[in-house]
Amino acid sequence: LTLAVVLPERNLTYPWAWPRVGPAVRLAAAAVNARPDLLPGFALRWVFGNSEDRHGVCSEMAAPLVAVDLQLAHHPAAFLGPGCVYTAAPVARFTSHWRLPLVTAGAEAHGFDDKREEFGLTTRTGPSHRKLGELGVQLHRRFNWTRRALLVYWDEKMDDRPYFFAAEGLYIQLPTLHNLTVVDIVSRGGGDFSFIIQEIKQKGR
């Protein structure tokens, strides 16, 4: 059995980068192969594909191409990764079409919660932003915040946009509290904090 691993090869800013995850994959494969009762008649091996572009950033172009190459060359039984939202989404669509499971520690975005079609075979082992949104709902109930929620977040529309997707979980879940108005303010650099403060003053009450 072959496990296809699609992760960033060198960029350690990602918690799921290969230098961090690789040792665990090697240990897991060795442990499985040391137990003939786990997969009788099979040996587990892994093949690796890099999801980074030439700048070392998660690439929504590189990752699906690597996944297709691994599928055609090795016919894996499952995929591990990618972790970044924009790389995991297209790869997960391919693996769903191939009827193969995909396991990832990332892909935190709210959209991956939809298991009806394209992400039906995607399993996330890490936290999701939906859970962050549910926490926000519980906090609003606990403290009886019932009228307005203001989300302020930084978004440069680069790389994996972690703040955008974190705010998305809150933005989608908070309206489940009826009669609650949710407003978002996006900061895109420049350090214009006076504008943000004025927006909070006008819209946050």
Show pLDDT as tens, one digit a residue, over the chain (205 residues): 999 999 999 999 999 999 999 999 999 999 999 999 999 999 999 999 999 999 999 999 999 999 999 999 999 999 999 999 999 999 999 999 999 999 999 888 888 988 888 899 999 998 888 888 888 889 888 888 877 766 676 666 666 777 777 788 888 888 888 777 777 777 766 666 777 777 777 766 5
Residues 110, 139 within the same domain: no
Residues 112, 59 within the same domain: yes
The residue segments making up the domain with residue 83 are: 2-124
Residues 100, 189 within the same domain: no
Last residue of a domain, one of 93, 124, 155: 124
Residues 18, 117 within the same domain: yes
Phi, psi of 157, deg, nearest 5: 55, 40
Distance in angstroms (rounded) separating the CA atoms of residues 123 and 102: 6
Residue with tokens 């693996």: 95
pLDDT of residue 81: 94
**Which CATH number covers residue 60?**
3.40.50.2300
Residues 111, 149 within the same domain: no
Residues 19, 80 within the same domain: yes
Residues 133, 100 within the same domain: no
pLDDT of residue 192: 67
Residues 85, 12 within the same domain: yes
Put residue 95 in one of left, alpha, beta given phi > 0 → left and psi -120 to 50 → alpha: alpha
The DSSP H or E segment spanning 31 is helix 18-33
Residues 181, 142 within the same domain: yes
Strand-pair partners of 185: 152
Residues 120, 135 within the same domain: no
Last residue of a domain, one of 124, 143, 166: 124
Residues 141, 41 within the same domain: no
Residues 61, 120 within the same domain: yes
pLDDT of residue 114: 83
pTM for the full predicted model: 0.81
pLDDT of residue 190: 60
Any idea what DSSP says for residue 204?
-
Domain total in the chain: 2
Last residue of a domain, one of 124, 141, 174: 124
**What's the full length of the chain, in residues?**
205
E strands, 35-176, where?
Answer: 45-50, 78-80, 102-104, 122-124, 148-154
